[in-house]
């Protein structure tokens, strides 16, 4: 199901303050039905605070916010009935079994057992946890707990699924399995809001995203648009021996549209990375290693903020 024009979450001048600290500073965005919308940014950028306001678990300090056509200030419980929330840290009920976690959660949504039971079984199947239905939660692996948390968030068949850093702390295999499941949810027409500080996650999953830094949105668009607007098609990464760094003295100039100097390497932004590398060779610049790659959202972030996403 392709994204539609119907707006599911609408924010204008949305602000969250904790005493004197401003966590979210007057941000504007719209999330459309059936799209995967991302909030990309480093830790502390205000992504989670924004999520919590959308999820109606944190009061809006200022500004306009509509979620599924309702006002979180007055209709929090009605909105929550249609949301699925996956928090940053798993908060499963460790005193209940896997199946009981789903059934009890269904009861919080006031779902009758006759509806909840088949739905829970179906979700365990979808998240590849069927064999663990009667197990306690604690011995499950990190990836399994995450999948159970997502299954739990889907129990009420939500119109909007909010995932706060869904794969942080998981190993690569577990991440890929999760991405694949989230992609399938999206194909079925679910609306997803995802926060992440992994640019590959944002590129994999998000139709559109906003880049957040220091409580503000610094750019918005599709991953492709952002890369085209703020980076070149390719990037040449150069590692130059420390003793040669001092003598470079502008010798890289003109080889690329833009050059970023990082503590451990140089990034040369050029539409043709190989061509730039030839230039490096013909100028006999001493290098330790060279790598030509596609530009990513990481480069966009670096360009916009002068910093890396993940240290």
The residues that touch another protein, with contacts defined as CB under 8 A, are: 18, 55, 57-59, 76-78, 80-83, 85, 87, 89, 91-96, 100, 104-111, 115-116, 119, 152, 156-159, 188-190
Element (H, E) at 205: helix 199-205
Q: Is 78 exposed, middle or buried (0-12, 13-18, 19+ CB in 10 A)?
A: middle
Element (H, E) at 268: strand 266-270
**Mapping DSSP to helix (H, G, I), strand (E, B) and coil, where does residue 176 land?**
helix
Closer CB to another protein, 57 or 308, in the complex: 57
Closer CB to another protein, 93 or 180, in the complex: 93
First to last CA, the chain: 36
Q: How far is the CB of 15 from another protein (least distance, A)?
A: 15
Closer CB to another protein, 119 or 197, in the complex: 119
Closer CB to another protein, 106 or 255, in the complex: 106
Parallel, antiparallel or unpaired: strands 258-261 and 234-239: unpaired
Q: How far is the CB of 72 from another protein (least distance, A)?
A: 12
Closer CB to another protein, 81 or 133, in the complex: 81
What's the token pair of residue 197?
A: 């500080």
Closer CB to another protein, 101 or 232, in the complex: 101
Q: Which DSSP string corresponds to 34-57?
A: T-EEEEE--TTSSHHHHHHHHTTS
* Phi, psi of 16, deg, nearest 5: -130, 125
Q: How far is the CB of 237 from another protein (least distance, A)?
A: 41
Instruction: In whole angstroms, give the CA distance from residue 109 to residue 101.
Output: 13
Q: How far is the CB of 167 from another protein (least distance, A)?
A: 19
* Phi, psi of 54, deg, nearest 5: -65, -40
Q: How far is the CB of 255 from another protein (least distance, A)?
A: 50
Q: How far is the CB of 152 from another protein (least distance, A)?
A: 8
């Amino acid at each position: 199901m392709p994204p539609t024009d119907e707006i599911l979450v609408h924010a204008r001048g949305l602000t969250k303050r904790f005493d004197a600290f401003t966590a979210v500073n007057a941000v504007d965005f719209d999330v459309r039905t059936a799209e995967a919308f991302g909030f990309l940014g480093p830790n502390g950028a205000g992504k989670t605070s924004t999520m919590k306001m959308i999820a109606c678990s944190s009061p809006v300090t200022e500004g306009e916010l509509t979620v599924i056509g309702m006002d979180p200030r007055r209709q929090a419980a009605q909105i929550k009935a249609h949301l699925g929330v996956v928090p940053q840290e798993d908060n499963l009920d460790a005193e209940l079994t896997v199946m009981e976690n789903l059934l009890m959660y269904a009861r919080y949504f006031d779902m009758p057992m006759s509806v909840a039971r088949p739905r829970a079984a179906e979700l365990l199947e979808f998240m590849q946890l069927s064999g663990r239905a009667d197990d306690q939660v604690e011995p499950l692996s990190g990836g399994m707990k995450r999948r159970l948390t997502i299954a739990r968030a889907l129990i009420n068949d939500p119109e909007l699924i909010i995932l706060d850093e869904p794969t942080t702390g998981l190993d690569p295999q577990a991440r890929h399995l999760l991405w694949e499941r989230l992609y399938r949810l999206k194909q079925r027409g679910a609306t997803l809001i995802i926060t992440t500080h992994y640019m590959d996650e944002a590129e994999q999953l998000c139709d559109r995203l906003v880049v957040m830094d220091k409580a503000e949105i610094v750019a918005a668009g599709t991953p492709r648009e952002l890369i085209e607007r703020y980076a070149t098609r390719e990037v040449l990464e150069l590692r130059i021996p420390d003793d040669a760094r001092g003598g470079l003295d502008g010798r890289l100039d003109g080889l690329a549209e833009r050059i970023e100097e990082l503590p451990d390497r140089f990034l040369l932004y050029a539409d043709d990375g190989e061509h730039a590398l030839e230039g490096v060779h013909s100028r006999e610049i001493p290098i330790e290693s060279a790598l030509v790659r596609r530009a990513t959202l990481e480069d966009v972030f670096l360009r916009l903020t002068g910093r890396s996403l993940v240290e």
